[in-house]
A and B are shown apart, each in its own frame.
Chain A
Amino acid sequence: MQLFLLASLMLGAGGGTRVVATLPDLADLANRIGGDRVDVTSLARPGQNLHAVRVKPSHLVAVSRADVFLQVGLSLEHAWVPGLLETARNRDVSPGGKGFVNAGEDFETIDVPQRLDRSEAVDVHPQGNPHVNQSFEGGRYMAARILAGLERVDPGGAKAYRANHAAWLADYEAARTRWEIIATAVAAKGDSVCVYHREFDYLLRDVGLEVAISLEPKPGIAPTPAHLANVVKTCRERGVRVIVTAPWSNNKSVASVAKATGAEVLELPLVLGDGRKHASWIAMIDDTVGRLARAVGVDPDAVVREHAAKEPSAAGGGGGGGKAR
């Protein structure tokens, strides 16, 4: 069932408003809010490095026919989307067109560079960390902007879109409550983790984990032997038990640090569909929060049960992702 849902996200199906999303996460939100009025296509495949998406003819065709184009923005997709939009020549979904939705625009970002200087980093995002889809708040933020975009393009469907959005929001709020309960327990442990690249900063912040050190000495620069030695030293000093990577960055350097420190390598999905093929964005965050909690010795289900026993109305019901796996 999950695979079927994912396949339908990737390929698009049926009629209605044609929505093209850069990421499966945006496609999931568009499907939930658009319901049967939209036909959604996702461009980036799960598992892909979002800066290295090769534009294919099918992408060009999809964008040329689209009524709505969804991107996170904040220069997350800057390597391939501007050229794609320019070539597709569909003014309705080009920046400024009514079908263009910059879902992460004006999000309260973190990691905003103090100054724009190539000596500071190679992988620079002037507006801050663009991985908004990894933030608890990011889902709600992007869903609201997708709702606005669909209403703008298809005003006749506004009532249905708002009802679908409200239903999604109920699932989200229930899940968000669980995540916050688990995060409080994780934060209380005061653990820190090591990362390869700074793509999970929102998630780690929200879950209550500090980043002790990155394997990349500067964003976009591969680790040197000297820097790896420093990473190992820092991990040992700070008792780091977990190295967090994305599928694309789970490489030899990560393995060598894990071997030297005994830390667990936790490969997390960067977008919906990575690794465990979650059925929805809520399910992905649910699972990710649970895995991070367990990695630092917190039993997420037990924490939620304990909280529910103390405050029965606040521990969150079902909907969306269910319990933290």
Chain B
Amino acid sequence: MCSPSLRVAWMFGILAAPASAQDSLFRTPGMPARASSGQTDRFSNEFNPAIGVVIDAIVDHLDTDVEMADDGFDATVRSFEASINGRVDPDWWLYATVVYADEDEEIELEEAASHFTGFDSNTTLRFGRFFADFGKQMQAHVHDLPYPERPGVLAEYLGDELPGTGAQIDHWWVSGDASTLRASFGVFADLERGHEDDDAGTAVALDDRKDADELALSLRATQFMDVGETGVFQWGFSALHLADFAFEDEANGLTEDGLSNTVYGLDLTYGVDSEDGLSGWTFGGEYLIQSGDIGAETNGAATALEVLDDDVSGFYAWGERRFGAKSSAGILYGQLEHPEEGTPSDNEVTAYYTRNLSEYARLRFAVSQLDADDGGDETRLLIQLTTFAGPHAHGVNW
């Protein structure tokens, strides 16, 4: 036994030592060893990944006639995101994002993925947990979107965000002197597509382990091209297949499993800049069709779940004017069908103004109107303040 003073001295010695990466300072036979030249454990923070954080805060006022919903003011830290990214070695890059969301009041690992870029071709392999490659905007986190909220059709058919655990390959080709084509294919053991149906009280459930034919699949092809000196046009087609899931009604203990559905999407985006590149216009939109087992309702006696096997569709379109490096304004219109009887639909319109106080602080004002066939109408006034400290990088593709 050593004396307390020696123990304190030992602890201070540990704390004062240079911060070393993952490994122990002294290695004996049989302990973990890497096929390396000692680089992993012999250097300190110089090689550490970049670290950044984002706070996305919202103050809003909601005026709604939806049953069970509250009117009035609210203030939330919608998300606090901490991320790291860095080169592992010349062939690998990794990034990870941990998010605390006020709504869920929990910390969630949203992304943690490694990219292999060591091929001599334009191919990238991605492994881990990452946002599935679907459409133009689903890979962006909500605070990175050009408007304050995920468009309704994306949120309803795919979820606010689309993290999955699996692997993805993508490759791009030259398709002309001013045009490139990219395609990706992803396989996921766990794809957390948003399917919650509040009205019906049902939620999506996934098995922990699956057969090969039960894995979720994603596919995307997109081409972008110069349009004149200052314009760029992009089109894309995406598909996402959820091969095996269940609808659950926990309150009544009901489950319907062995279900599947597919979402197809078409996206178009055009951006044109002024000569100095600081101002310009952007126009875009996505059209989605959701097909298969798209919803479930508990029957009147609460003895069974009735699965809705149908097709529904929706779209959004938006246009934005950038006035300069600091400010922009835009408008978004969206429409979507719900799977329930009679395919009730939602119409949304949002107008917003964004002011970049600097590259690291952004203020946004927005007003949105939701007109829902099967619920009530909502009008929302919103102020969003997003601040960034340190680097901010995700595995966003084009």
Binary contact track B166-178/A, C-beta < 8 Å → 1, others 0: 0000001010111
CA distance A220 to B224 in the complex (A): 31
Assess the B278–A52 pair: CB atoms within 8 A: yes
Counting CB contacts under 8 A, is B376 at the interface? no
Partner of B122, one of A45, A49, A53, A64: A64
A227 to chain B minimum Cβ distance, whole angstroms, is 14
Assess whether B326 is in contact with A222, with CB atoms less than 8 Å apart.
yes
Number of interface residues of A (CB under 8 A): 27
A54 near B277: Cβ-Cβ < 8 Å? yes
Interface 1/0 per residue, A98-128 and B, CB below 8 Å: 0000000000000000000010001100000
- Do A58 and B277 contact each other (CB < 8 Å), given the known contacts A86-B117, A220-B359, A221-B358? no
A48, B325: Cα distance in complex, Å: 12
Contact indicator A118/B360 (Cβ below 8 Å):
yes
Q: Select which of B179, B230, B389 is within 8 A of A57 by beta carbon.
A: B179
Residues of A within 8 A of B229 (CB): 45
Q: A3 to B325, alpha carbons, bound, how many Å?
A: 29
Q: Are B276 and A57 in contact (CB under 8 A)?
A: no
Q: Are B278 and A61 neighbours in the complex by a CB distance under 8 Å? A: no
Contacts known (A45-B229, A52-B325, A91-B120); A57 close to B224, Cβ less than 8 A: yes
B232 within 8 A of A: yes
Given A45-B229, A89-B121, A122-B360, check contact A60 B180 (CB 8 Å).
yes
Minimum CB–CB distance for B95 against chain A, Å: 13
Chain B contact residue count (CB 8 A cutoff): 32
Given contacts A47-B275, A49-B277, whether A54 and B180 have CB atoms under 8 Å apart is no
Residues of A within 8 A of B226 (CB): 56-58
CB-contact partner of B232 in A53, A54, A122, under 8 A: A54
B49 contacts A by Cβ under 8 Å: no
Q: Which residues of A contact B225 (CB under 8 A)?
A: 57
- Complex Cα distance, B178 from A57, in Å, reads 5
Residue of A nearest to B124 (CB): A89
Residue of B nearest to A48 (CB): B277
- For the complex, is A247 an interface residue (Cβ under 8 Å from B)? yes
B276 contact from A56, A65, A247, Cβ within 8 A: A247
Contacts known (A57-B178, A57-B226, A58-B226); A52 close to B326, Cβ less than 8 A: no
CA of A86 to CA of B226 in the docked complex: distance in angstroms? Answer: 20
Assess the A89–B117 pair: CB atoms within 8 A. Answer: yes
Partner of B178, one of A49, A61, A221: A61
Distance in Å from the Cβ of B250 to the closest Cβ of chain A?
45
B273 within 8 A of A: yes
Answer whether A54 and B275 are a contact pair too, CB < 8 Å, given A61-B178, A89-B117, A91-B120.
Answer: no
Partner of A61 from B177, B275, B360 at Cβ < 8 Å: B177
Q: Which residues does chain B contribute within 8 Å of A45, judged by CB atoms?
A: 229-230, 275, 277
Closest residue to A118 on the B side, CB-wise?
Answer: B360
Give per-residue flags for A33-53: 1 if the beta carbon is below 8 A from chain B beta carbons, else 0. 000000000000101110011
- Most chain B CB inside 10 Å of its own CB: which residue of A54, A86, A251: A54
Give the docked Cα–Cα distance between A87 and B170 (Å): 12
Question: With A58-B178, A60-B180, A61-B177 in contact, do A47 and B276 touch (Cβ < 8 Å)?
Answer: yes
What residues on A are CB-neighbors of B172 within 8 Å?
60, 87
- B180 contacts which of A61, A118, A122 (Cβ < 8 Å)? A61
Contact present for A48 and B275 (CB under 8 Å): yes
Chain B neighbourhood of A122, CB < 8 A = 358-360
User: Could you give, for residues 164-180 of chain A, a 1 whenever the CB lies within 8 Å of some chain B CB and a 0 otherwise?
Assistant: 00000000000000000
Closest Cβ of chain B to A12, distance in Å, is: 10
Residues of B within 8 A of A222 (CB): 326
Does A52 lie within 8 Å of B360, measured CB to CB? no
Query: What distance in Å separates the Cβ of B54 from its nearest Cβ neighbour in chain A?
Result: 14
Chain B residues within 8 Å of A54, by CB:
232, 271, 273, 277
Complex: chain A residue closest to B122, CB-CB: A89
Given A45-B275, A48-B276, A220-B359, do A56 and B174 touch, yes or no (CB 8 Å)? no
Choose one: B120, B277, B324; the contact of A53 (CB below 8 Å): B277
Residues in chain B near residue A123, CB distance under 8 A: 359
Report the minimal beta-carbon distance from B394 to chain A, rounded to whole angstroms.
12
Interface mask (A296-325 → B, CB under 8 Å = 1, otherwise 0): 000000000000000000000000000000
**Apart from A45-B277, A49-B276, A61-B178, 11 more pairs, CB < 8 Å:** A48-B275, A52-B277, A52-B325, A53-B277, A57-B225, A58-B178, A58-B226, A60-B180, A61-B179, A247-B275, A247-B276
What are 7 inter-chain pairs, A to B, with CB distance below 8 A? A45-B277, A52-B276, A58-B226, A65-B174, A86-B117, A87-B172, A122-B360
Q: Which 6 A-B pairs give the minimum distances between C-beta atoms?
A: A58-B178, A248-B276, A48-B277, A52-B277, A47-B275, A122-B358
B-binding residues in A (CB < 8 A): 45, 47-49, 52-54, 56-58, 60-61, 64-65, 86-87, 89, 91, 118, 122-123, 220-222, 247-248, 251
